[in-house]
Amino acid sequence: MPLSKSVPRRQVHERKINFETFLRQDGLWDIEAHMTDTRMHEITSDFYPKLEAGKPYHDMWVRLTLDSTMEVKAIEVVMDRAPFGQCPKIVGNYQKLMGARIGNKWLRRVVEAGGGCSGCT
């Protein structure tokens, strides 16, 4: 059921996250995610002097390879766009998730690996 009609407004931000799941020939699973953040107005940052309205300022790809117990066997993270210079530098931090299982405390582990002041959204 759609939402009710809103008062007049102007969109300022959009986040899109797309997930796809693949069963590999070797019996493992790949979960691929693509996340973009887009501002509807021009922005500047320390990494991009000027970013046009409607262009993503976050453009991030993640592939988790899991076994049937949901244990992370491999992880690949790529940032095509990031708002700050330190963002692409934390890509390697996600390797800390190797061997972890998706389940209890999973989100906490993700934030510990790549989030916070020195990390990523």
Q: Which residues pair with 101 in a beta bridge?
A: 71
* Contacting residues for 59 by C-beta, under 8 A, at least 6 apart: 35, 36, 79, 80, 81, 82
- Residue in the block written with tokens 């988790």: 64
Q: What predicted TM-score, i.e. pTM, was given to this entire model?
A: 0.81
Other CB atoms within 10 A of residue 65 CB: 19
Is 101's pLDDT higher than 90?
Answer: yes
Closest CA to 43 of 31, 52, 56: 52
pLDDT (0 to 100) of residue 112:
79
Q: How many angstroms from the chain centroid is the CA of residue 35? A: 5
Q: pLDDT tens digits, residue range 22-43?
A: 999 999 999 999 999 999 988 8
pLDDT score at 119: 62
Which residue would you say has higher pLDDT here, 64 or 82?
Answer: 64
Q: Where are the domains of the chain?
A: 13-114
